[in-house]
Amino acid sequence: MKRLVTRAIGAGGALAVLGALWIYSSRGTESNAAVGQPPSTPPTVMVAQPLSKSIVDWNEFSGRFEPSASIEIRARVSGYLQSINFEDGQLVEMGQPLFVIDPRPYRAAVAEAEARLSSARAQVDLANLELQRAEQLVGSAAVSRATYDQRNQQKRAADAAFETAEAALQRARLDLEFTEIKAPVTGRVSNRRVDPGSLVAGGDTLLTTIVRLDPIYFVFDMSERDFVAYERAMKSGKLRSIRDKGTPVWARLPDDDGWPYQGTMNFVDNRLELGSGTIRVRAVLPNRDSFITPGQFGRIRLPSSDEYDGILIPETALLTDQGERIVLTVGDDNVVKTKTVQLGPSQPGGLRVVREGLRPTDRIVINGLLRARAGAKVTPQAGAIAQQSQSAS
């Protein structure tokens, strides 16, 4: 009997508590309705349709600029350095005199060689006269056959001596010409390594160096994977071979906007490096104002596809969800949904190619991502994705 009473009391107490809660809740609802607070407004986000345009995929590589020619300037004759005709680090033109070695000994050698040539010419003239007399008298008893043969031999010896003297004169004149050392190319000269008055050894003493700046090379290493991809694309006819010197490339310095330097492929090595698994590649670019200095770091890009119609979105519209790249889209009911996308390479202007997952008519959130939640309503505001400029393409 006592147990039944206890249970009844417990059940009644529970009913009493539930009743009190219901009354409190009803009062709160009436109070809110009396105040007349409006329901919360969905957050505002900016949406836009993906940018559709004809694009080309690119592969980018890092490398360094190198001179198209690097020349060590050495004297070809020995002597005392008489003068230096350039400033250290100056831009010089091809054929511009750089150094002058004392030419006086070589002028004397030229005069001596000219005198020997004159003497050899006189010997040739004398040998010709004696041979002509011998030819006229060889049939008579005045000149024997042996004498004729001797005159003929003297003529050939005189001719040989003349040719020797003529060659010696040419060599002496060359040596005199080599006393004035000229720039073999147009470029920038380094600092002088010797001073006037120093004794210069021909073929041994390094005087300075010159690098040619226009055109300039860009040298980089391509991975085996990229190289094979280019080879397969070339074999299938989708791309021209990177060994083709007409393949266009674009380069930039680290602080450049866009890709201001356009050139062409110039060289692909004949084997891959076993240790690094890369192949050395080189492009050539104009550098008419000599702004680029050899040794500078830069980046280069090569086309990796033909032109095609692609879909682009801003990099800032991309999110990551458990390793997948997603974008937020807004439907006709203004409800936010997520879409998983497959991405392609980056494009100038902060854009990214979308391979799969988006349609050109989708509205994606490009601003206000922190205010958008999947499954929640938003207030969409129309925006647009800016097209990249032609100079940056």
Residue partners of 78: CB distance under 8 A and separation at least 6: 101, 199, 200, 201, 202
State the pLDDT at residue 19: 42
Question: Residue 304: pLDDT above 90?
Answer: no
Mean pLDDT of the 296-306 span = 89
| Domain 58-67+217-303 bears CATH identifier 2.40.30.170 | yes
**pLDDT, tens digit, for every residue of 127-165?**
888 888 777 776 666 667 777 778 888 888 988 999 999
Mean pLDDT (the chain) is: 84
Q: Specify the fold of 69-208.
A: OB fold (Dihydrolipoamide Acetyltransferase, E2P) (2.40.50)
Mean pLDDT of the 298-304 span = 90
Question: Residue 27: pLDDT above 80?
Answer: no
Integer Cα distance of 130 and 253 in angstroms: 78
State the pLDDT at residue 38: 52
Residue 309's pLDDT band, with cuts at 50, 70 and 90, is confident
Please give the class, per CATH, of domain 46-54+309-392: mainly beta
**pLDDT, tens digit, for every residue of 95-136?**
999 999 999 999 999 999 999 999 999 998 888 888 887 777
**pLDDT, tens digit, for every residue of 155-195?**
889 889 999 999 999 999 999 999 999 999 999 999 999 99
CB 180 within 8 A of CB 152: no
Sketch the domain layout of the chain as residue ranges: 46-54+309-392, 58-67+217-303, 69-208
